[in-house]
Amino acid sequence: MTTDVADPAEAAGIAPAADSGFLQRYGVTIEYILIPGAALLGALGVFGIFVALFGKSPLDLYFYMYQGAFGTWFSWQNTLTRAAPLILTALCTALPAQLGMVIIGGEGALLIGALAATSAALAMPWAPPLVVQIAMVCAGMIGGGLWIMLAGGLRQYRGVNETISSLLLVYIALAILNHLVEGMMRDPASLNKPSTREIGAANMIGSIPGTDVHWGLVFGVMAAVASYILIYHTVFGFAARVAGGNIRAAKIVGLGVSKLILTICFLAGACAGLAGMVEVAAVQGRTNANLAAGYGFTGILVAFLARQNPLAVIPVAILLGGISASGGLLQRRLGLPDASVLVLQGIIFVFVLASDALYGRIGFLKGKS
Amino acid sequence: MIIGETPLPSGALGVDAVAMTMRFGDFTALDNVQLKVRPGSFHALLGENGAGKSTLVKCIMGYYHPTEGDVLVGGREQTIANPKDAHALGLGMVYQHFTLVPAMTVAENLVLARDDVPAVVNWSKEKKELEAFLARMPFKVPLNAKVSDISAGERQKCEILKQLYLKRRFLILDEPTSVLTPGEADEVLGMLRDMVVHGDLTILMITHKFREVMAFADEVTILRRGKLAGNGKVSDLTPDSMARMMIGAEELTVQPARVGQVGAARLELDRLNALDDAGGVAVHNVSLAVRGGEIVGIAGVSGNGQRQLVEVLAGQREAESGEIRVIGDVYHASREEMRRHKMSLLPEEPLKNACVGGMSVADNIAFREFDRAPFASGGWWLNRAAFREDAERKIGLYKIKTRTPDTPISALSGGNVQRAVLARELGGEVEVLIAANPCFGLDFAAVAQIHAEIMAARNRGAAVLLVSEDLDELLELSDRLVVMFHGEFVYEARASEADLTEVGRHMAGH
């Protein structure tokens, strides 16, 4: 029998002792920027090929996209105006994601929010504008909030998958909107495009002084910052992260998961509902089918690109706002169909989803455990 | 070793691992380890969790490619690039967890495991061949029964038969008895031992049960922290000397003596019923009272409703009917109740059941207290400094090995994850403690520490419900022992007077 006993001193520590510095500490953060960034570039590359098939130069494409999105003060304003609702609808996906839920029905909450805000304004023609505007904000947020809370409740109490239900609720919201604007709420004067009556020029929320960008951008940024603080600095956010990270762990420490789910869903829907209110009170002035412009769906893309981080939602929304803002210029200068930016959005979404598989697999960023 | 010896076409196969080193990044999982398994021997591979046992056998089976070192099969150096190569050489492995398809019959499982399953299976021919094969085997299994209908012992036999059916002549068994009753374990290992003695088979068994090593193995190799700590003939060794080689110079926490008075009933279950995920009855009309200052152990083969029972107590599953009372009050596993009654839970697989892997060690330690001062200022704003301070204190107190309090808890080893949960659950006052397999898969040092903490909580007057699949652990810690079978409590005895064969009989449902 042989017995060579290993050195006990060496046996004491299994974990590699030294902190190997920068990559160790920031590896994960770098990854969160690098991978979506690479996915975006990859998507732009593929879109370039797509455009080349139309006989256009991809280099021209990239140049005009930049011009249309960020090239001039005018295009910046156009971009920011489009980014405002995207920030809010992205939060509708990013907030429930903290609880591990995939909600893709921001579009529905936006429509219901718009409808509720319009109804509030039309119900109080006697009130001063500020009161009307506050009532519109509240109505929009409550309407949108209840709408997504419905998806959360269906999941929590009836076991219905929240992704499917929130998506189907979009179509129900659209049907409700059409039903009302073509029936009860229709302005008899709107002939070709059935709409509600106008909320009145005095009740419009207007633009940030010195710009053509409406106040919705400020709402969006405020909502994103508040969401970030809520998730990362408050007791409620901590409980939500526990429940989102591991529902079994949340239950074993007695956290009320149903309450968390319903509250988060309400807040998420309230953000999208606010986007609907902004679209009515700053852009359209009334509710009609024009509101279903896809902001809710692009918001999903924004949230995924931002890795569901409420703060990262802001720059990503601006980026995607820019892409959609450049659509017009691409049409004029390159003769591309207006919808071609939607093709780009689709390609980006596919790349972002596929890039999910790369996390934790990039050799030089691997932290040692 | 004889260079150039050809592997025999049949009969037992010897395997040597020479100077095996396996590095994962900076971490050395195996450091120049030598393993020599003689043909026709029953070899045990002993070591704590993380000692490198799995890494070593995975290198042999071709799942990993060792950084350095060679594998010799039948005395001949072989490059084993993947498990398929290992299978072709006649090496096979039985995993800790079953790999059979539950919805298929035993015969179907056996045939499907072959590499050369024909596109159309001639079942009548296959069945005849299987019956002929089974006639030569020492153990019998019902070929036409569905795997889901047979017992754990029979499933384990199927796993082993599958390997023999595939003509494997060197078998690696990874903790093969962890799902079996002591009686079933002895039966299966005894039969395998007979095959080894007949020279049909060589066995390398990973285990941590000294009893099995002493009763069935010829030789043993012991690893510690990736290094060879010792090897030799079992007949030359004692459980004590093997344990010393496994643990090394490390000092273990001393378990406090059993002291104190048994008090009033703290945790009462009244005709409790619960369903499993599939909707079948998992816990059936269970009633029990656990009093302050006692540990009630619940024994049973895994899958007899213990998990569902603990999940109900932990708030992870709704009870179907019945009542749980804690210190007289009806209990629904809410945060307020857990807090009022000072309840603590140590679930099995803590990373899966009690932690959020992506959150930091400090956050995980604060799960029970984060919504109160000093962690929450004004009841809503998180006070990060308090998190850090508390975590640093508990990391020291409970000897949690982590790089920093901010490291994600999933980066810690199993023992340290359980220590962090221990710090959270037992760091304050405890009146009711529910523990489920709290030491599963942990090393000696962690086990000793956890046992000591559980005993100390009992001595301070806590009512402890300990659910475990490890009978030795239950006998060591419990005051009373209850056996659970098919969702019911079928046997109860004072732990000091419990008869092991009687307990085993009830565990198997006789």
User: B356–A248: do the CB atoms touch at under 8 Å?
Assistant: no
Residues of A in Cβ contact (< 8 Å) with B376: 235
Q: Is the pLDDT of residue A87 over 50?
A: yes
Residues in CB range of B406: below 8 A, 6 or more apart:
B360, B361, B362
Q: Is the pLDDT of residue B225 over 60?
A: yes
Q: Which residue has the higher pLDDT, A173 or B224?
A: A173
Instruction: Round the average pLDDT of chain B to a whole number and report it.
Output: 88
* Percent above pLDDT 70 for chain B: 97
B32 in contact with chain A, both atoms CB, cutoff 8 A: no
pLDDT for position B504: 83
Q: Is the pLDDT of residue A4 over 60?
A: no
pLDDT, tens only, A32-68: 888 888 998 999 999 999 889 888 888 988 999 999 9
Interface test with A, best of B241, B403, B417, B424 (most A CBs within 10 A): B403
Cα B316 from chain centre: 22
**Separation in Å, CA of B137 to nearest CA in chain A:** 34
pLDDT, tens only, A132-141: 999 999 999 9
B220 in contact with chain A, both atoms CB, cutoff 8 A: no
pLDDT for position A7: 36
d(CA B380, CA A348): 38
Out of B225, B316, B339, name the one closest to residue A14 (CB). Answer: B225
Out of B232, B337, B371, name the one closest to residue A235 (CB). Answer: B371
Total beta-carbon pairs less than 8 A apart between chain A and chain B: 124
Q: Half-sphere exposure of residue B155, counting CA atoms within 13 Å on the CB side?
A: 23
User: B316–A252: do the CB atoms touch at under 8 Å?
Assistant: yes
Mean pLDDT value across residues B265-287: 93
B411 in contact with chain A, both atoms CB, cutoff 8 A: yes
Q: Which residue has the higher pLDDT, B251 or A75?
A: A75
B315 in contact with chain A, both atoms CB, cutoff 8 A: yes
Q: Which residue of A has its CA nearest to B346?
A: A252
The two three-digit tokens of residue A75, written as one number: 């295009």
* Percent above pLDDT 90 for chain A: 64
Q: Is the pLDDT of residue B340 over 60?
A: yes
Mean pLDDT value across residues A240-268: 95
Mean pLDDT value across residues B246-258: 79
pLDDT, tens only, B445-501: 788 888 999 999 999 999 999 999 888 889 899 999 999 999 999 999 998 888 888
Q: Which residue of A has its CA nearest to B26?
A: A16
pLDDT for position B134: 87
Q: Which of A175, A172, A177, A167 is nearest to A105 (CA)?
A: A167
Q: Is the pLDDT of residue B180 over 50?
A: yes
User: B334–A239: do the CB atoms touch at under 8 Å?
Assistant: no
pLDDT, tens only, A6-21: 333 333 333 333 445 6
Q: Is the pLDDT of residue B5 over 60?
A: no
- Asked if this assembly's ipTM is beyond 0.85, the reply is no
> Which residue do the tokens 């069935």 mark?
B216
Q: How far is CA B68 from CA A304, A314, B31, B52, B467, in A?
A: 43, 51, 9, 15, 43
User: B245–A3: do the CB atoms touch at under 8 Å?
Assistant: yes
Q: Which residue has the higher pLDDT, A189 or A239?
A: A239
Q: Is the pLDDT of residue B35 over 60?
A: yes
B376 in contact with chain A, both atoms CB, cutoff 8 A: yes
Q: Is the model's pTM score more than 0.80? A: no
Strands B463-467 and B294-299, bridge-based pairing: parallel
d(CA A132, CA A120): 7
* Percent above pLDDT 70 for chain A: 91
